[in-house]
Amino acid sequence: MSQRAPEREAISELTTGRLSVYLRCLTFLESIGQRTVSSHELAERFHLNSAQIRKDLAIFGEFGTRGVGYNVATLREHLIHTLGLDRTRNVIIAGAGNLGMALADYGGFNEGGFHIIALADSDPAKFGKTSRSGIPVVPFASLSTTIRTSSVEIGIIAVPSPAAQHTYDALVDAGICAVLNFAPIQIRLRPGVKLKSVDLRINLESLSFYLKNVEDGTCGF
Amino acid sequence: MSQRAPEREAISELTTGRLSVYLRCLTFLESIGQRTVSSHELAERFHLNSAQIRKDLAIFGEFGTRGVGYNVATLREHLIHTLGLDRTRNVIIAGAGNLGMALADYGGFNEGGFHIIALADSDPAKFGKTSRSGIPVVPFASLSTTIRTSSVEIGIIAVPSPAAQHTYDALVDAGICAVLNFAPIQIRLRPGVKLKSVDLRINLESLSFYLKNVEDGTCGF
DNA sequence: GCATGTGAATGGATTCACAGCT
DNA sequence: AGCTGTGAATCCATTCACATGC
């Protein structure tokens, strides 16, 4: 599809998700002063198979030492680089409702490589206000300007479902090519733009399905 | 592991997730008055393969009519029943911070089979307050009482990571056997309890990885 | 000896392709 | 004809098992 195929195009989302998990673990291990870690030790922590971990870590080069394991600090730096977290990426949140505000103040979204620039909303009553942690609400109409002047690379859709497609298009038109969507609808995609969707309700329904299937009084009690 | 194996134990999360998506689509189709729908039409809406949809829908019985398709209303009722959404399940949220409050007021969590009873928090300053939509904050110490007296079946963990394991154990001890966890840590599981974890940061890191890999100026522009 | 890195084997999920019903 | 339901085939991810190197 694209002409300059970077030799290794095929790293699945499952793999990158695990890399993120390993990274978090390595950060913890480094903080407690551990120098090396083996694939077996990592595997135990996450109920994973050690071969899986070795395969994941070997995709981008050989970073372990046979007979010893992986150097925590080195591997951590390597993963940070691989995931593109070694420089800050600016983020904008579309929708300053409950969810948008919560995400703006969410710890994990404002550290380790990400910086939330602003929330954009179409309700004038919210303009000029800020989230609790001080992230400003700007008019939706100025989305494009904000994105360009602040070099925003990632957009988060936290608007009601009916507004989601429109919001997506506005983000893409402003030059965004990576979008995280919380609206439970199927977005009409545009080429060259990466979309990740998080459907909160599906998780609850999955639990409901589980409960229905133990609905005979068991549940371990 | 369990002695009374309900003949069909093996329905993957991937499948139930799709069933949830189909259900949402059917609700929409019913609202616009469409009577029947084919697997091809559904497939187009979600970029899925029509055989996949037919397989998913055939797991619990034959609900289509050859040559015609599926009856929207019938199939919808059938999915609601299959997912256990035909009766209300009560939910409690542990953690009345930004995320907990946002989830308490999140539309999708308070309709179609779910009812959020309360938020539980250990900060006395929050006791007796409510979320914007009126869901009360109760003391964390009364978690167990609330769960039992209100017949709560699902717990949501929206506390900071260091408190997540403790919160999980408290929920399980109070009789909860389905938990939705938003803390980015590996929970030590207890048997007979279903856990679904949502890691918000991993999604951002996945976008970062994508951006890093187009970092040669492309991105469709 | 011990732990990585990796080809081969396995296991699951998706897709194909067609038989069977309306 | 049109569309479902499903065995067979394919694709992808995980796991096994061992050769390789410290």
Q: In what order do the strands lie in the sheet with B36-37?
A: B36-37, B69-71, B64-65
B15 part of a folded domain: yes
Comparing alpha-carbon positions, the chain A residue that sits nearest to B47 is: A186
Q: Is the CB of A15 under 7 A from strand D?
A: yes
Same domain? A63 vs A126:
no
Domain identity same for B17 and B72: yes
- pLDDT for residue A27 is more than 70: yes
Domain count within chain A:
2
Q: Which of B206, B218, B221 to mutate to test the interface with A (most CBs of A within 10 A)?
A: B206
CA angle A105, A108, A109 (to 5 degrees): 60
Residues A143-164: pLDDT tens digits?
999 999 999 999 999 999 999 9
**Is A209 domain-assigned?**
no
Q: Is residue B219, in this structure, part of any structural domain at all?
A: no
Tens digits of residue pLDDT in A175-185: 999 999 999 99
Given pLDDT bands bounded at 50, 70 and 90, which one contains residue A90? very high
Contact predicate B157/B164, CB 8 Å = yes
Indicate the residue of A13, A17, A84 with minimum beta-carbon distance to B208. A84
Residue A6 pLDDT: 40
- Whether residue A208 and residue B98 make contact (CB cut-off 8 A), yes or no, is no
Tokens of A154: 């990632």
Instruction: Give the CATH number, domain containing residue A166.
Output: 3.40.50.720
What pLDDT does A173 receive?
Answer: 98
Same domain membership, residue A163 and residue A75: no
The pLDDT, as a whole number, for residue B14 is 97
Chain A: closest CA distance from residue B66 (Å): 27
Mean pLDDT of chain B: 93
Within this chain, do residues B196 and B106 fall inside the same structural domain, yes or no?
A: yes
The two structure tokens encoding residue A89: 């990426």
Contact A17 B196 (CB under 8 A): no
For residue B210, tell me if it sits in a domain: no
Distance CA A115, CA A151 (A): 11
β-bridge mates for residue A195, sequence order: A179
For position A10, what pLDDT does the model report? Answer: 78
Work out the average pLDDT over A17-35.
Answer: 97
- Average the pLDDT over B51-63 and give the result: 95
Amino acid B69 CA to nucleotide C18 C1' distance, rounded Å: 18
Q: What digits encode the pLDDT tens for the residues B116-151?
A: 999 999 999 999 999 999 999 999 999 999 999 999
**A221 in a domain, yes or no?**
no
Strand D contact nucleotides, protein CB < 7 Å:
1-7, 12-17, 20-22
**Based on the domain organization, do A68 and A39 belong to the same domain?**
yes
Question: Are residues B71 and B133 located together in one domain of the fold?
Answer: no
Which residues have a Cβ under 8 Å from the Cβ of B212 and sit 6 or more positions away? A82, A83, A84
pLDDT (tens digit per residue) in B80-123: 999 999 999 999 999 999 999 999 999 889 999 999 999 999 99
| Whole-number distance in Å between B66 CA and D6 C1' | 14
Q: Which residue of A has its CA nearest to B14?
A: A206
Q: Same domain, yes or no, for A114 and A180?
A: yes
Using the predicted structure, report yes or no on whether residue A213 has a pLDDT greater than 80. yes
The predicted model gives B56-69 an average pLDDT of: 94
Interface test mutation site (partner A, options B202, B216, B218, B221, max chain A beta carbons within 10 A): B202
Final residue of a structural domain among A82, A106, A131: A82
Residue A64, pLDDT above cutoff 50: yes
**Burial class, A219, CB count within 10 angstroms (exposed 0-12 / middle 13-18 / buried 19+):** middle
Flag whether A217 is in a domain.
Answer: no
Grade residue B218 by pLDDT with cuts at 50, 70 and 90.
very low
Query: Domain range spanning residue B101?
Result: 89-202
pLDDT of residue B9: 58
User: Quick one: which of B165, B159, B163, B161 has its CA closest to B195?
Assistant: B165
Question: Which pLDDT score, from 0 to 100, does residue A40 have?
Answer: 98
Which domain-ending residue is among A82, A101, A121? A82
**Do residues B114 and B191 share a domain?**
yes
Q: Which of A148-152, A172-176, A210-214, B4-8 has the lowest mean pLDDT?
A: B4-8
A212 within domain boundaries: no
Name the residue among B17, B45, B113 with its Cβ closest to that of A186: B45
Residue B114 · residue B89 · CB < 8 Å: yes
Please state, in angstroms and rounded to a whole number, the distance separating the CA atoms of residues A170 and A187. Answer: 13
A189-212 per-position pLDDT tens digit: 999 999 999 999 999 999 999 999
A196 & A94 share domain: yes
pLDDT at residue B4 tops 70:
no
Based on the fold, state whether residues A193 and A102 are members of the same structural domain: yes
Q: Comparing C-alpha atoms, which of B65, B22, B16, B15 is closest to residue B41?
A: B22
Confidence of residue A119 (pLDDT cuts 50, 70, 90): very high
A1: confidence class by pLDDT, cuts 50, 70, 90: very low
Give percent of chain B with pLDDT exceeding 90.
Answer: 88
| pLDDT reported for residue A215 | 79
Nearest-CB residue to A99 (from B6, B102, B190): B102
CATH code, domain carrying A43:
1.10.10.10
What nucleotide is nearest B15 when CA is compared to C1'?
C13
Residues A19 and A49 in one domain: yes
Calpha distance A5→A219 (Å, rounded): 50
Q: Identify whether B214 is part of a domain.
A: no
Residue B5 pLDDT > 50: no
Which has the higher per-residue pLDDT, B220 or B165? B165
- What CA–CA distance (Å, rounded) separates A207 from A197? 19
Mark whether A106 and A194 lie in a shared domain: yes
